[in-house]
Structure 1
Amino acid sequence: MKKFLIYTVKIIVITALIAVILDALYTLAFMQSRNRGKVETVVNSKAKKFDVIILGSSRANNHFVAQMFEDKGLKTFNYGMSGGHLFEASLMLKLMIERKYTIKNVILEADLNLSNEHQAEGIAALFLPYIHNSETIRKHFENEEDYNELYYVPFYRYIKYDGKIGFREAFLTAVHKKTGILDNLGYRGLEKHKNGNMKNNIVNLNPLPHNKYYEEIKNICKANNINFISVMTPMCENVKGMNYFDKVKKAYPEIYNYENVVTEDKYFSSCGHMSDAGSKVFTARILKDFFGKE
């Protein structure tokens, strides 16, 4: 029995040691990354200056053509993250402030994601390699259900989110394998597809009366003298429940409603995402209305 207990203890100690070593190696790889994605580009950066920062979900990533801002003399980057929620958008802005970014304007796509305060696990996971290296990230996750496991258990986060920050991603990061995520100043243009889904139903969607992460973004901008521009972006013609945008306007009167600026299906890749052509029409309107650029 004694030998069995000693053997068991040895296995536990060895397993824990391996977990600690792997955790350190994976984290080291991610801490050296600057060319694969938007999260590590911010985390591993130093102070930068921007005229315009764009935040939000895919409806920001696919809708704001950053190069058009640049062409008008506005230093811009689109930090919209496909699949992301306001949870991640708020954290991105916090990290920029932590790294002493100078930002004149923040454009936030705030419409459908006002209906929840959840993290988008697949996107939130991208911040986890840095949870021990950034107090901002640690605090942002500290109220999540599995915070203790993520923070205190070595290698747990890499196992749980293997598909996002596991071996493959750690390896590709370590060998500095680039992706296209940072191309086009963060903007990802979409093509018009013949079989794109041109119907959507948001009848049961309701904005929260006080979305925590939206308010965080707004307050961060106020505290740092950043001009805050929050907009609702377009959807196609065949949407059921378009009064959702009226609900948003009622709950958050400061948000500008641009959902009907582009409506024709020819400008959409899918019902919730404009094609590159539609995004250029939309971006031109934003430049005109908020920056006086035509």
Structure 2
Amino acid sequence: MKRFLIYLSKILVLLVLVSVLLDGFYTYAFFQAKNRGKAEAVFNSVQQKYDVVFLGSSRANNHFVAQLFQDKGIKSFNYGMSGGHLFEASLMLKLMIKRKYVIKNIILEADLNLSSDDESEAVAAMFLPFIHNSEIIKKHFEYKEDFNELYYIPFYRYLKFGSSIGFREMFFSAIDKKTNAMDNLGFYPLVKHKNANMKNNIANLNPLPHNKYYEEIKNICKANNINFIAVMTPMCENVVGMNYFDKVKKAYPEIYNYENVVADDKYFSSCGHLNDAGAKMLTARILKDFFSK
């Protein structure tokens, strides 16, 4: 029995050592990435200066054409993250402030994600490689039920979120293999697909009366003298429950409703996402309304 316990102890010690080594190796690899995704790009960046930064989900990533601002001499970048929620948008802004970004205006896509203050696990995981190196990221995740496992068990986060930060992503991060995430000043244009889903039902959605991360973004902007502009963006014609946007306006009267600025389905890639032409129409209207001289 004694021999067995000694053998088992050695196995456990070896397992811990291997986990620590793998954790360190993976983490080091993610520190090399600047051209993979927006989370790594911001974390590994130095101070930047922007007239306009766009934040939000795919409805920001696919809807705000930063180049149209750039063409007017307004330096901008679209940091919207497809699949992301306000949890990740708030964390992104916190990291920008920590990196001493100078930002004049934040344009936040704030509509459907106001109905929840949960994180997007796949997108939030992209920040986890840096959790031991950033007090901001650590505090942002502290409320999670499995925070202790994520923070204290070496290599656990890489195993749990293998699809986002597993071996493949680690390897490509180590060699800093470029993706298209940072192309087009962060904007990802969509095309119209023949069999795209042009129906949606948001009748059961309700905005939270106090979305924690929306309020965080607003307060960070106020504390850093950043002009905060929150907007709702369009959906296709055939949507059930469009009064959701009225509910948002009632709960958050400061949010500008651009839902009906683009109405024709020919400008949509899917029911919830504009195609490139539709995105240019929406962006041109926002540019005119807030930045025309």
Asked if structure 1 preserves the Cα contact closer than 8 Å seen for 2:205 and 2:244, the reply is: yes
Match of 2:260 in 1: 260
Offset of residue 193 of structure 1: 1.3
- 1:287 aligned residue: 287
Deviation, 1:32, is 1.4
Measure the CA separation in 2 of the matches of 1:210 and 1:104.
Answer: 25
Q: Which residue in 1 is equivalent to 2:151?
A: 151
**Structure 1 length as normaliser, TM-score?**
0.99
The secondary structure found in structure 2 opposite 1:67 is helix
* Amino acid aligned to 1:53: V
Task: Give 1:143's aligned amino acid.
Answer: Y
Cα displacement (A) at 1:75 = 0.7
Aligned mates of 2:291, 2:145 — CA distance in 1? 42
Query: 1:33 Cα shift?
Result: 1.0
- How far, CA to CA, are the matches of 2:225 and 2:177 in structure 1? 37
Deviation at 1:115, TM superposition (A): 0.1
Amino acid at match of 1:261: V
Unaligned runs of 5+ in 2: none
State how far apart, in whole Å, the 2-side matches of 1:33 and 1:194 are: 36
Q: Which amino acid aligns with 1:182?
A: M
Contact 2:32 2:175 in 1 (8 A): no
Q: Deviations over 1:70-117 (max 9, x none)?
A: 001111110000000000000000000011000000000000000001
Q: Does 1:114 align with 2:114?
A: yes
| Distance in 2, Cα, partners of 1:208 & 1:239 | 21
In structure 2, C-alpha distance between the alignment counterparts of 1:70 and 1:157, rounded to whole Å:
38
Partner of 2:52: 52
Tell me the alpha carbon deviations over residues 221-241 of structure 1, each in whole angstroms, 9 at most, x when there is no partner: 000000000000001110100
Please provide the CA RMSD for this pair: 0.6
Question: Are 1:133 and 2:137 matched, yes or no?
Answer: no
What TM-score, normalized by structure 2, do the two folds share? 0.99
1:11 maps to what in 2?
Answer: 11
- After superposition, the C-alpha distances for 1:31-64 in whole angstroms (9 at most, x for unaligned) are 1111111000000011110000000000000000
Shift of 1:158: 0.2
SS in 2 for 1:144: coil
What is the match of residue 32 of structure 1?
A: 32
1:207 equivalent in alignment to 2:204: no
Cα separation, 1, equivalents of 2:253 and 2:33: 40
The answer (yes or no) to whether the contact 2:42–2:96 under 8 Å persists in 1 is yes
Give me the identity figure in percent: 74
Moved >2 Å (runs of 4+): none
Deviation, 1:194, is 1.6
Do 2:190 and 2:276's aligned partners in 1 also have CA atoms closer than 8 Å?
Answer: yes
Residue by residue over 1:218-271, the C-alpha shift from the partner in whole angstroms, topping out at 9 and shown as x without a partner, is: 000000000000000001110100000000000000000000000100100001
**CA distance in 2 between partners of 1:237 and 1:50 (Å):** 34
Q: Which residue is 2:102 aligned to?
A: 102
Counterpart CA distance in 1 for 2:132 and 2:225 is 29
Of 88-97 and 192-201, more deviation after overlay is shown by: 192-201
Task: Name the CA distance, whole Å, in 1 between partners of 2:55 and 2:158.
Answer: 26
Any stretches of 5+ residues in structure 1 without a counterpart?
none
Question: The residue matched to 1:249 in structure 2 has which SS?
Answer: helix
